[in-house]
Structure 1
Amino acid sequence: MVQRSLTAIIALLFFVPIIWIGSWVLELFIILLAITALIEIHQMKGIQPISIPTLVASIALVYIILYNRIHELLPNLAQNGSVFAFFVILILCLTIVLKDYTIEDVGVSFMGIMYTGIGFHSFILTRETNLHLLILSLIIIWSTDTGAYLVGRKMGKHKLAPSISPNKTVEGSIGGIVIALLVSIIYLLFFPSVYPLIMVIPLIILLSISGQIGDLIESAIKRHFGTKDSGNILPGHGGIFDRFDSLLFVLSVIFIIGLV
């Protein structure tokens, strides 16, 4: 527990200033996180981190994350879907050239590219257009996670998804939403939104639920591959994919519903 808390504190002290600085500093940091998460996904499937499939998938991932930046520099290239289509064809063709890279591996690669790519792309986009929303999203995710753990530990009786994550309970899930609401409302009292609070509350609930869904999705992926953690880069926390599972899904939802 001490190791887990120490890692979280160090990560926050490093992560928060980078978010505040933004710009290319944040973009480089996000690319590093995204490629690390992709490598972790690949490793769970048995795809080597230093390999042609991982290299091609990483380039495709960067293309998705930095789409807006690429669009500014090369507008005609970015608007043309042939660039990503090239990656699709190239990754598929690798199954012919490389005997250890199967069609199932291709599916895992594209899952990693699209899921982490869209989530981290939305992270950068949200930071550029609405820092307030990004901070609120982080608060919702962290308070939901903390609330679900505390309430679930004290009052949890009914399993939420026993086949995926046996320790999660319905009571913990509801408790996480309630705690997220309380903490977010306190935050909004000090840093008001441009929208009335009555309109923001449904968004808080939606993002709190989305964060829990993201956590369950990552748990389902790990259970499928028979692994406890996606990696070990963060002592006491696992891998990058472990720590950003909720955030990736929440930011994807924000991107889909058009808040950024």
Structure 2
Amino acid sequence: MLTRILTAIIALVLFIPIILIGSWPLAIVMTSLAVIGLAEFHKMKKITITSVPALLSLIGVALMVLSVYFPVLFAVEVFTRTISLVMILLFLYSIAFTRLTTQDIGEITLIMTYIGIGFYSFVSLRFSNLPLLILVLLVIWATDTGAYLIGRKIGKTKLAPNISPNKTIEGSIGGTILASALAFVYLFYFPQSDSLFANFLLVIIISITGQIGDLLESKIKREYHTKDSGKLLPGHGGVLDRFDSLLLVLNLLFILGIV
């Protein structure tokens, strides 16, 4: 537990200034994290990082995040063309090297897209709406903390026993309540809408989506028989372990056109 706490403190001390600075330092850090996160997935799939499939997708995810510097419409073109290009090149590679299956290509392309859009959206949101980015981080942190503390105290009903046995419905609800309480104070000073209901609904959506993202990462790790996605953050695991909730929330905000 001490290692986990110390890692979290050090990460916050380093991470918060990067968010506040924004600009190219943030883009470089987020691109690096996206590449590391995708490399963690390759490791779970037992794909060598220096292999052609891995390198193609790592370059692809980097291009997706860095496309934040292009105009919005062109950024979308970079997304679609990068995904299509990586997919086609992987198909061609699989013809010559049949050990790479179409299922492998689908998984690699899917996770590359998921991670790429997530970290792109982080940088984009920092550029366009810093208060909303802080709200997202606050809600996810509060939900995670509340779910853990309340779940340990009164949690009895399993939320998803086949995926994450330690999570409970009581903890999940408690986490959302804590996040809503803290977000209510924050939104008093930095409202995202003139409608109180719209602000409340946004918080609930972020909290629930974040918890689903956590479960999604747990499901992926179970499928690949892995406890942690990586070892970058002692006590926390890897990039995918730490950004699991955030990635799904950011993908949803991207789909909704908020990013």
CA RMSD after TM alignment: 2.1
Q: Deviation per CA, 1:108-161: give whole Å up to 9, x if none.
A: 211221110111111111111100000000000000000000110011111000
What is aligned with 2:65? 65
Residue of structure 2 in register with 1:46 after alignment: 46
Q: Does structure 2 conserve the Cα–Cα contact (< 8 Å) formed by 1:119 and 1:251?
A: yes
- Percent of paired sites with the same residue: 49
**One-letter identity of the residue aligned with 1:17:** P
Provide the secondary structure at the position in 2 that maps to 1:127. Answer: helix
Counting only pairs closer than 5 Å after superposition, residues 150-161 of structure 1 correspond to structure 2 as: 150-161=149-160
1:183 counterpart = 2:168:
no
Post-superposition offset of 1:5: 0.3
- Are residues 182 and 101 of structure 1, via their aligned partners in 2, closer, same or farther at CA, if it must alter by over 3 Å? same
Residues 1-260 of structure 1: pairs in structure 2 closer than 5 A = 1-71=1-71, 78=77, 81-260=80-259
CA change 1:16–1:85 in 2 (3 A) is same
- TM-score, length of structure 2 as denominator length: 0.93
* Deviation for aligned residue 1:197: 3.0
Structure 1 residues 181-232: Cα deviation after superposition (integer angstroms, max 9, x where no partner): 0111122234344533332001100100000000000000000011110011
Deviation of the 1:80 alpha carbon: 9.6
What is the CA-CA distance between 1:76 and the residue it aligns to? Answer: 11
Aligned equivalents of 1:159, 1:214: Cα separation in 2: 17
| Partners of 2:86 and 2:109 within 8 A in 1 | no
- Tell whether the 8 Å contact from 2:64 to 2:78 is kept in structure 1 after alignment: no
Please state how far the C-alpha of 1:75 moved relative to its aligned partner.
5.3
CA contact (8 A) 2:193 2:199 kept: no
Gapped regions of structure 2 (runs ≥ 5): none
Looking at structure 2, the residues matched to 143 and 35 of structure 1 have their Cα atoms a distance apart, in angstroms, of 27
If the length of structure 1 is used for normalisation, what is the TM-score?
A: 0.93
Alpha-carbon deviation of 1:77? Answer: 11
How far did residue 104 of structure 1 move? 2.7
